[in-house]
Structures are given as structure tokens and as C-alpha cells.
Structure 1
Amino acid sequence: MAHLLGAEALHLEFPTKLVFDSITLGVNEGDRIGIVGRNGDGKSSLLAMLAGRRTPDSGRVTVRNGVRIGVLDQADTLPDNETVGHAVVGDTPEYEWAGDPRIRDIIAGLLGDLDWEAGLATLSGGQRRRVALARLLTGSWDVLALDEPTNHLDLEAITWLAEHLKTRWTASAGGLLVVTHDRWFLDEVCTATWEVHDRIVEPFEGGYAAYILQRVERDRQAAATEARRQNLARKELAWLRRGAPARTSKPKFRIEAANTLIADVPPIRDTVALQSLAVTRLGKDVVDLLDASVSYGDHQVLRGVEWRLAPGERTGILGVNGAGKSTLLGLIDGSVAPTGGRVKRGTTVKVATLSQRLDELEEFLDDPVRVVIARLRSTYTLGSGSKAQELTPAQLLERLGFSSAQLSTPVKDLSGGQQRRLQLLLILLDQPNVLILDEPTNDLDTDMLAALEDLLDSWPGTLVVVSHDRYFLERVTDQQYAILDGCLRHLPGGVDEYLRLRMAQERAAAAAPLTSEVAAPPASDRPSGKELRDAEKELASLERRIERLQRQAADARVKLADLDQSDYQLLGAEMAKITTLEDEAEGLEERWLELSVLFE
């Protein structure tokens, strides 16, 4: 493959830290490289040097003649005095960019909800981020260098971006370098992984799942001081093989190696023990939403929500921005009162919320970390029964990635990720039995995300998670719900089902203007009571059939991992069966949406 760019003996040093010491690497056409590592180890600096944005102290970066490199920085570099449209397409005539299907797809995928003539100064930080990404992607580049491109994107936009990057070039053309903590995105897009650690860059074949497998093997052969890191990685590998087997079928090396490594790894969570302990702490009643509705003035956000949270339940909540996720969380924690229906709480329920803000740290900003934890309870219990483990706050901090030296650092001087972890510690040590996590993965690197997931595996309570990080959501929760048109809907098919439903919604919305010109039917043509009852019965039947089909398709995908991977005929036949099941479910979902309109 043709060479695009390379680095020779790069050396980078800050006044208090040596970042890189003589690293040499290259990017060829067809490379799709994910860059991972702990926060502060130099991922963004490496990307900046390769893209020509930062000059190394010694060594050099070489770029093949004529290669064009497009860069997405973490910082907001957009001018305030531009409109959305001008920022994206500049002075290009409308007939040119509107006639380009690639540009139309980028605008629809990232900016569909924005006013094309809106000034950038009026946009939120997340909206400006999407404009910057769209502006970059509309250009013609041989190499894209993206620094945290999924920040501020919702699940649908992240899914769109992954598909765009997979199809932007042919398999043997273009180059991608991406720094991200989104592990699903790494698996979906990248064919190689660079781990930045200890002043070096270590290459691995494949995406995140493949990287974890190879890192486990590396750690298995390492010194005893690496034992804890190995165990966390082994546990995460067990999740990757048992919870998402299709991901590890992509690497070219033998899958038998993974099975050998995780043969003695226990299940991710001892569900029975945790639920038993949760019932002991909570009783049978947690929080019941009974026909709950919330309206703000004339705008109804939630309607007729029926949901009974069970002890030990682990649930992920999906929905577009503005769908009502925060309102739903407010009903659970009591900060929002229903305007219809009611909310019933168990007498022993103690709810705590890890919000997107850092309110819990406000009073401690000037205090060193050790002073903050000295005010807290002396021990924290992880797990249950014979596996119960007593940890001091300092041990818990160490488990969350704090070094002993950082205990003397004032809270205000901690990084965003460190403040986030300290915020979680304060909440956990308050011993809640219902925990709400609202975008908990912000500012955390992949190692800290694995540590957080490991900690939550042994937390015995009811867990509700809102997150755009698909990997985290699927990893720590056992079921998912979505807020669609103000209603709460169970998703037996998980995130994939949600994305299919949202696509069907968008198709229906796009078709609506075509029928809006037709006059409304007279009262005599509107559904009768009997027709509504029949529709309600059909809806219930459709939901059961959709759930059964999705369960059959999911079971069939799991069984694929047990088949002979060299028997392509058999694999093709099984995949055809799965596709048939999924297509049938999608058709029923469209019918479900058609009937739902009758009740609006």
C-alpha cells in the first residue's frame, strides 16, 4: 500500500514531563487507526504532530507530496460571525453543493435539526461541534485526523459518522487517524489500534476488541505489578466474547486464543447475588411511574409512562436530545413532579444522581483530595456474601485511577476526568440504593471506563443510565428503553432496535409533508371506537411478534460464533435467515408506527 505520512524519531517534552522519546511510525493508504491511552499520555499531541499542527522537539514528520490532511481539533475554532450554511459550504454556489449527494448526506446526518441561516454565535457547544465536523467532512482529504469526533454527538449521529467513515474511501484508499474513548466506534471503524503509553506508541492489529485480546496476552506475560490491569482487561474481554461475539470475529488471528484466555473468567456480574442484596436494601418497591405525564405549558414532554423499577434492575435510557430523558430522570429522583398520573416510591429508597454538572464538588474546590475523603465514611463495601470486599476511600480512589501524589492536589486543579471520578466516589460513599448516571463517560479514557464498569459490576442497587456511549450502555445495563414521541418503550432488541425505530420515524416524518396538503378527513371518516380498539389489539400483537422475531435473530447471531468459521456456505445460509427475521421485524415496526398515529 502507498505511504501517506510517517514519523521518524519524534521526541516531545514539556517542562515537567517527557511525552515521547524517539517514536517512529507510519500511515499507509487504507489504514484506519484508532489512538487510545490514558488521559495526559500524549494522544492529542501525537495527532497534532502527525497533522502538522505541532512541531516535535526533534525528529520529523514526512508527508507524501500532494497528500491533503483534514483535522478536527477538540477546541472550538469556528468564527462567531458566520451562519451555519456558510461555515459548512463557504461561498460554493447552492446548485453545486446541493447537487452533491455526499454533501447532502453529511448535512442530513449532522445538521438536520439546525437552521441553515442561524448564526454560529447562537448555537450551543454541541451544535457548534457538529457544524465543525460537517465543515471538515465536506472537504476532499487524503487523510482525516479526528480528535474526539463523537463528543456531543447522539447515538444516531455517531452511527451515521461510523458508516460515513467506513464508506468515505475505498478499502485501499485514504487514511484515518482518530482519538476517541468511544469503544463501539473504534470497533466499528478502525482496522488498527495504537496505544499511547510510557512515552511510546504500541501498534495492535484490529479495532478495540482485537486490541484488548492482544493486550491481555501482553499483560499475561508482564511482571506481577501489571496483574490488576490484566484482570480488568480479562474481564472486559469476557464481556466482548460473551456479550458481543460478533466483534471479535473480525480479527485475523485465532479466536481459540481468546477462549483459552477467558476460560476461567467468571460471569461479568453475579446477577442473582446482586438482586438478592438489592431486595434486602430496597424491599420490593423501588420507584413506580403510574400513567405519569409531564407538560411544560402547552408542550407535553412525557405521556402515560408506565414503568416499575425493580430492585437491582439495570436499565439504559435512549432518546434524541430534547426527547425527555432528563425529565424522566427527574421523575425518578423527585426533582420533577408529574402533571398527570403519579409516582410512587418505596420507603427505603435513596436516590443519587451523577449529573453532567459537578455540583457535588463545589464546596470542596479549594481542598486537597485527601481532606475531602477524610470527611467521608471510613469504609465502602463492594460485592456481597463471601465475595464482599471492604475498601477505604483511599483504596477506592486508587481503584479509580488516582495516584498517591494526586491526593494532595486541590480539587479545582484536577483534570475533568479526575473530577468526574471524585464526584462518583462522593456519591457511592453516601450509599444510595438507586443510582442514576447521566452521561457518566464524559472526560474518561478507555482504561478508566473499564475501571468504572468493573466498580459498577459489584454495585448492589437499581441502576439507570443515560449515555451516548453505546459500548458503556450495553456493558453496564441489562435492558434498554427509549423515549419515542413522549412515550417510554421497551427495546428487546436493544440499541439496534432503537436505531431502526428512529429511522422509521424519520422516513414517516419525511413522507408527512406529501400528505399534509390533503384536507383533513371529516369527522365521519375518523376512526370509530371499535376501530381504535381493534388497532390497540393489533399494536399489542405487533409488539409481541416484533419481540419474538428480534429474540430469534439475536439468538441466531449468538449461535454463529459456535459454527465452523471456514464453512462459508453454512455461514451465508445462517446470515440469510437472520436477515429475513430482521427484515420481517422492521416491516412490522413500520406498521406499528402507522397504527400509533391513530392515538395521537
Structure 2
Amino acid sequence: MILLQTNDVMRRFGADVLFHNIDLQIQDHGRTALVGRNGAGKTTLLKMIAGITQPDEGTISKVKDLTIGYLAQDQGLDSQNNIWAELDLVFAPLHKMEKEIYQLEDQLGDLDSDSDQYQQVLNKYDRLQDEYKKQGGFEYESRMRGILHGFGFGEEYYDTPVDALSGGQKTKLALAKILLQEPNLLILDEPTNHLDMNVLAWLEDYLKSYRGALLVVSHDRYFLDHVVKDVYDLDNRTLTHYTGNYTQFVAYKQERLKAEWKHYDQQQKKIAKLEDFVNRNIVRASTTKRAQARRKQLEKMDRLERPETDDRSIHFQFHSDKDSGTEVLDVENAKVGYDEQVLAGPLSFTVRKPQRIGIIGPNGIGKSTLLKSLLHQIPLVSGTVKFGANLEIGYYDQEQQQLHPEKTVLDEVWDDHPEVPEKDIRSLLGSFLFVGDDVYKPVHDLSGGEKARLELTKLSFKPINFLILDEPTNHLDIDSREVLENAINEFTGTVLFVSHDRYFINQVATDVLDMHKDGITYYEGNYDDFLAEQTKRQSSIPSDNTNKQATPSTGKQSYQQSKEQQKARRKLQRQVDKLEQEMSELEDQQTQLQEKMSQPEIATDIGKLTDLQKDLDATKDKAEEVELAWTEAAEKLEEFDQQN
């Protein structure tokens, strides 16, 4: 069932069109992402869908009695209540029922149990009790505790005034309150800001089982991969729908653009050929009729528009003038904090060329403080830090305190390199999307994303062989994050970075350091490797005696036993092979359907496109079922081989 849909929605800013022809559908229980570059209009569209603003053109229709919960970006709660009392406001209707139930109980105590009035009050009491139970009256407190715990608010926080919380905590509390309200449609704009990895993992699991529908804007690609099932891409002032999570969307978009360019190029070649024939033959008596026929063919041709995408993106690379030594950094028994107050430690670890090490850990543990202590911006409480030889260090500060608020964008870079011609500085700034009059903007007027790009501009200009980065993906849109990932992966030096962006860590990290209050734990690999190893370490390992008891004695098998085992294995192998073949065929079907959908005559036919989309969705569902069956069969085959 469709809960909400937009029809041909448009938003103008003066004479400029921000977006147009916006057609979007939210299905019951849907898990939908809205993606697009910074400034494309995602938040503007969300506000229209939430009913906060109205479109300039088009309509937004909703099912009757649809409840919508909207969390704006970095929206916090302002309240004089403590945390528990503030969230308890969500259940005001239940408290009203509780009061009525108590009043009815008092009435029943005063009435004769044989009277008609007693029976009437009792019936009302029973109905109210049933409704109270149906609306969760006996479990709302446990729900509150569960959600508060999920967001990192233990019982010691319950009496804390909301106004005493940090901005990030207020945002988490606002999200907790909306989740408790359980609207039919939950609209979240960048909900993962201020959340550490443990809370993110909890939120992903919670949203997967959420009873309503979800529409989310997020730059957190790992979050999108784990939560959403379809994606709307706001690109080039219009909207395109894709089925699947974020990674699948990226692949499908590339396929679609590739197909569109192929059809466009084919048509352009055909047009050029026809025009050339007309130009060469229109004046020749013997070929005039054929040339006129070609001209009519050209006039009747439905010409494809040149495929367009808003692909403006930063492009840069880090460089060094010399190689560092193998030993880049040694940290021994370091304790970090402020004014003798220890946040974490003792911390001991090494960094070697050309590792790319990601530091993870809960918010407030002191990750940024550690980086600043390494750079001697904040003194260590105790311990030692030893840097290697020939280091050229580049530091990215998530708070952008290295930027000068009163300088212009141009001067911020040029003042560090006065010997470089202005045109070269402006060319560099242009590669970071600072063009035209943008270079004269004062730093204090820049957005968070612009400041992030400016700091990366400065880093790319100086020679570096050891990069130290503090939350480098904050404020960057997804395209810019991918460019940064490529720049780091192509960098021949060493990288030490703090990040809560799990997708980013997966793309660039060779090693992970998990920082906690009492120390730091090393893991080889990226974030997924860290999760796998953590699970492995937490699982119980059987003792040698247990292994001996669990392992049957091996001896010569009888011919009959061997024959039966071979027969059983062949059966399992045939099942695996059959499912692999089905998976391959279903993949081919999906490719054929996607190619059909990209054909110009179908792409403009909503009816045919809808039918094909249904076929594609059904094929994908079938492919998922077959893949699951194949996984189970392959595991059985592997277990069989291990046991025999």
C-alpha cells in the first residue's frame, strides 16, 4: 500500500529551479533513502513531504490519518524537564487512561456488586483495560528504558535536565522521542550525526524491525547499505528511483548512465550519417528524392537528450617530497586527558610505513585528544611519543581551528604560499569547487562542507608523507568522500585517522585500533575484519579435552560406508550446482530487464516502466531466495567435507 506520493513536484528559488518533475512513492513498511549532492535540495524536499512547507507546483497526497515523525538535521530538544519526564510526555494518552482506570476502580469499590450500575462500570473498566493493554500500557516503561539504553543513556541519566545535555545528546534524545511515538512514516535527515559505532549498530537493528515506513537522508553509506531497500537519487534537478541498498544503487546508476550514453551515441552517429547523406545528395537530381526521404526521417526522429548528471566533484591527490623511514610513530603507555584528568590510557601502539590505521571508539573517549597530544597541541598526562625520521606531517582538524575566520578563501591558501602565482592558487581552489566569487568569501561565512574542502585544499598543496586525519568525512557529501578515499588509497605515505564512518574505514584502512578507557586494541584489516575478529575473540573456544571428546576416532571405513558418503556428497554438489545456475540465470534476467528499462521508448512510458519494475523487483526477490538456499547448501557441503 502506498502511504504517500508526490506528483510532479517543483521548487523554485527566484527564477532558478531547484528541482522539478519529482515523483516519489513511500510504501507501507518501506525503507527508502533520498540521496544527492549537498545543495541538491534533499532537506527542502523532506520538509515538503513532512508537510512543513508546500511545493511551488505539483501535489503531495497521503493516506487518511497518516502520522509523520520528522527529525531535522541536528535537531535537539529544548526542555526544562529531565530526560525521563520529557520522553514520558509521549505516553500522555496512556496516563490519561491510567487515571480513568483508577477512578473506575474507586467507583467499583463503592458500588454494590449485584447492582446494574456496578455491571455497567465493570464493563467500561474491562474495555478500558483492554484498550490500555492494546496501546502498550504495560510495556511503555520498558520501551523507554530500552531506547534510552540504545542511545547510551543509562539510569544515571534519567534525572538529568534536558537543558544540561550537549548538542549531540539533545539530538539523540530528539530521535529517541520520535522513535517512541512510532509514527506511520518516520522521516530522518542525517540521523547518524553524533552517534558512535555501538549506537549506530543498535539503531540499524531497531530501524530494520520498525513497524512503520522510513524515509532517510544520510551520508553514512554503511548505514544506508544495512537499512534501506530502495533509493531515490536527486540528481540534475530531478529524481530517479532505484531498487536496492546504496551499493546496489551506485552500480545500477552506472549501468543506467552507461546504457543511456550508448543509445545517445548510437543515435548521434545515425543522425550524423543521415545529415551527411542529405548534405551530399540534396542538390543532385539523381539522389534528391532519397535525400528528401532522409531529411523527413530526421525531422520525425524522436531525439534523445544528452545524458546529464550533476557530476561536479573535487579532485586532488596528496604528495610528498621525500620518503619517510619505516618506523613512523611509537606510542608507549600514553594517557590522554586534560588537567591530569585521564580520558583513556595507558595506550601503546606503533605506526609503520605505509599503514593506513583507523582509530575507533565511543564518543568522548579521547580519540581527537590523542591526535592533538601526538602533535603536542595538548600535553600527554603521561607516557611517551616518538616520531620517526624524515617525516612531513599533514594534519586535518575536524573542528577546522587551523582556518582563520576573517581571511578569504583565496588568502587562506595564498598566504601560506605567497611565492605561487594567483592563477595557480585559483586553479587549485577550482579543483575543490571554489570557483568565481567563491574565492572571496570570508572563512566565517563558509558552510561546514566548504570549510572541510578548504582544509583539504591546504593539505593537498603541501608535501606530506604522514597524514593525521580527525574525522575527515564529516560535512563532506558522498561524492567528496569517495574522492577522498581514492586520494588516500593512491597516497604512498602513511595515514593515521580517527573516524566513525564505517564505509570509509572499510575502503581505506589496513589496520584498526579500538580505543577504550583502559587501553587500545589492535586489529588487522578494515572495519568488517574488525567486527569478524571481535566476534571470533568473544566466542568461546573449546578446551583440548573438549576437542578430543568431540572428535570421533578415525579408522578404515567400510566400502559400503564410503559408497553411501560419495552418493550423499554428489547429491549435495548437484544441489549447489543447480542453485548456482539459477543464480546466474536470474542475474541475466535482471540485466535484461534493466537494459529494457533504459531504452528511450520505454523510459518515457510510465506504464511499461512500472510493469518492468515489478518484474525486476520479483526477480530480485527470487534471486535473494535462491542465494539464501545456495548459501545453506554450500555450508552443508562444506560441513560434510569437514566431517568426512
How many angstroms apart in 1 are the aligned matches of 2:429 and 2:369?
A: 31
Structure possessing the higher radius of gyration over alpha carbons: 2
* Correspondence for 1:176: 214
Distance 1:394 1:128, change over 3 A: same
* Correspondence for 1:109: 150
Correspondent of 2:391 among 349, 373, 378 = 349
How many angstroms apart in 2 are the aligned matches of 1:486 and 1:199?
A: 50
- 8 Å Cα contact 1:184-1:471 kept in structure 2: yes
TM-score normalised by length of structure 1:
0.69
* Correspondence for 1:138: 180
Distance 1:341 1:307, change over 3 A: same
How many angstroms apart in 1 are the aligned matches of 2:468 and 2:12?
A: 41
- Per-residue CA deviations over 1:4-49 (Å, capped at 9, x if unaligned) read 0111221211236321223222212132111111111100111111
How many angstroms apart in 2 are the aligned matches of 1:577 and 1:159?
A: 32
How many angstroms apart in 2 are the aligned matches of 1:312 and 1:379?
A: 32
Identity fraction in percent: 30
* Correspondence for 2:109: none
Q: How does 1:103-502 map to 2 (within 5 A)?
A: 103-113=144-154, 115-169=157-211, 174-221=212-259, 280-294=322-336, 299-362=341-404, 365-367=406-408, 369-377=409-417, 393-404=425-436, 406-492=438-524, 494-496=526-528
Amino acid in structure 2 at the alignment position of 1:446 = I
Greater Cα offset, 401-410 or 90-99: 90-99
Structure 1 counterpart SS, 2:524: coil
Please report how far the alpha carbon of residue 326 of structure 1 lies from its aligned counterpart in structure 2 after TM superposition.
2.3
How many angstroms apart in 1 are the aligned matches of 2:160 and 2:166?
A: 12
Please report how far the alpha carbon of residue 198 of structure 1 lies from its aligned counterpart in structure 2 after TM superposition.
2.1
Greater Cα offset, 181-190 or 430-439: 430-439
How many angstroms apart in 2 are the aligned matches of 1:222 and 1:436?
A: 41
Please report how far the alpha carbon of residue 69 of structure 1 lies from its aligned counterpart in structure 2 after TM superposition.
1.0
Amino acid in structure 2 at the alignment position of 1:315 = I
TM-score normalised by length of structure 2:
0.64
- 8 Å Cα contact 1:360-1:426 kept in structure 2: no
- Per-residue CA deviations over 1:376-422 (Å, capped at 9, x if unaligned) read 54999xxxxxxxxxx95545434434444533434333322011110
- 8 Å Cα contact 1:436-1:464 kept in structure 2: yes
- 8 Å Cα contact 1:379-1:393 kept in structure 2: no
How many angstroms apart in 1 are the aligned matches of 2:419 and 2:139?
A: 62
How many angstroms apart in 1 are the aligned matches of 2:450 and 2:327?
A: 35
Distance 1:344 1:312, change over 3 A: same
- 8 Å Cα contact 1:324-1:486 kept in structure 2: no
* Correspondence for 1:523: none
* Correspondence for 2:619: none
Please report how far the alpha carbon of residue 216 of structure 1 lies from its aligned counterpart in structure 2 after TM superposition.
1.4
Distance 1:298 1:442, change over 3 A: closer
- 8 Å Cα contact 2:466-2:493 kept in structure 1: yes
Amino acid in structure 1 at the alignment position of 2:9 = L
- 8 Å Cα contact 2:81-2:162 kept in structure 1: yes
Distance 1:108 1:336, change over 3 A: same
Distance 1:59 1:295, change over 3 A: closer
How many angstroms apart in 1 are the aligned matches of 2:504 and 2:341?
A: 32
Structure 1 counterpart SS, 2:223: helix
- 8 Å Cα contact 1:287-1:332 kept in structure 2: no
- Per-residue CA deviations over 1:425-470 (Å, capped at 9, x if unaligned) read 1133232322221112222111121122222222232211211111
Please report how far the alpha carbon of residue 503 of structure 1 lies from its aligned counterpart in structure 2 after TM superposition.
9.5
Greater Cα offset, 153-162 or 421-430: 421-430
Amino acid in structure 2 at the alignment position of 1:438 = D
Distance 1:78 1:501, change over 3 A: farther
Please report how far the alpha carbon of residue 129 of structure 1 lies from its aligned counterpart in structure 2 after TM superposition.
0.5
